[in-house]
Amino acid sequence: MIRTVLTAFAAAGLVLAVPAAAQQIVPVTFAKGKSAATLTGSIKGDQDRSYTIDARAGQTLTVTLKATKGSVEMNVYAPGNDTAISLGSTDPYKFTTVLPTTGRYKVQVYQMRASARRGETASYTLTIGVTGSAAKASTDALVPGTKYNATADISCTTSVGGKTGACKAGVIRKGGGNATVELNTPDGGQRSIYFTGGKASGSDSATPIKATKAGDITTVRIGTVEVYYIPDALVFGG
């Protein structure tokens, strides 16, 4: 296995222990007063390397990837979720978002399939930054027997050619318009949609969302099939 050398630039103020060659997960922390770190590395063939960073809901995560040799892409994963919130084929070199939840985020760096199959070696520079303040915790009471601050039936479409039906929705409010809306769909599926500052900012799908606002209803579209109509009252309470 090719030994990987990870270098932290002094300007970034990175505090990082260099992993052994066999390790593929690199925890990243920042020096006091710093909010970003820049690293270099290399991978060969179908190797991939994951960088983890702890951050809180309401903060902004920015990740930038630059290939210095060959070609590389990246995926970004939310805590405890195997579905990428940033997929390499969609956002291969730069990703930024206000974080929907607190926990350990993961940035996975890998080669494109053709290069990996040829056993090529790629080198890269990766910059990870976390800025802003964490969202204030919600003081809303919970619906008895649930983890939700409120529950409701909302209008939704979740199947090809399907009619608008009702999705069972529960919301976990985190204050300041930051919330996670968890949905059970009529066809037995599940979906989570994240709100930041009262605006729909992402979901647990690898497909980017498209959100529009009309009055007090946010319409969230995911791909060509899923449509959810989410009222402000569910997100903010009141």
Q: CA-CA distance, 126 to 124, in Å (whole number)?
A: 6
Q: CA-CA distance, 179 to 138, in Å (whole number)?
A: 9
Q: What is the pLDDT of residues 15-29, one digit of tens each?
A: 333 333 344 899 998
In a domain, 138, yes or no: no
In a domain, 140, yes or no: no
3-state DSSP of 151-216: EEEEEEECCCCCCCEEEEEEEEECCCCCEEEEEECCCCCEEEEEEECCEEEEECCCCCEEEEEECC
Residue 14 has pLDDT above 50, yes or no: no
Instruction: Pull the structure tokens for residue 145.
Output: 């027997």
Please check whether residues 155 and 121 belong to one and the same domain: no
- Which domain does 174 fall in, by range? 150-236
Residue 130 has pLDDT above 70, yes or no: yes
What average pLDDT score do residues 111-134 get?
A: 91
Residue 238 has pLDDT above 70, yes or no: no
What average pLDDT score do residues 85-93 get?
A: 73
State the number of CA atoms in the 13 A half-sphere of 125 facing the CB: 7
In a domain, 210, yes or no: yes
In a domain, 2, yes or no: no
Please check whether residues 198 and 119 belong to one and the same domain: no
In a domain, 25, yes or no: yes
Please check whether residues 114 and 157 belong to one and the same domain: no
Percent of the chain with pLDDT over 70: 85
Please check whether residues 107 and 215 belong to one and the same domain: no
Q: Which pLDDT belongs to residue 137?
A: 59
Alpha-carbon dihedral sign for residues 95, 96, 97, 99? positive
Please check whether residues 62 and 154 belong to one and the same domain: no
What average pLDDT score do residues 80-104 get?
A: 78
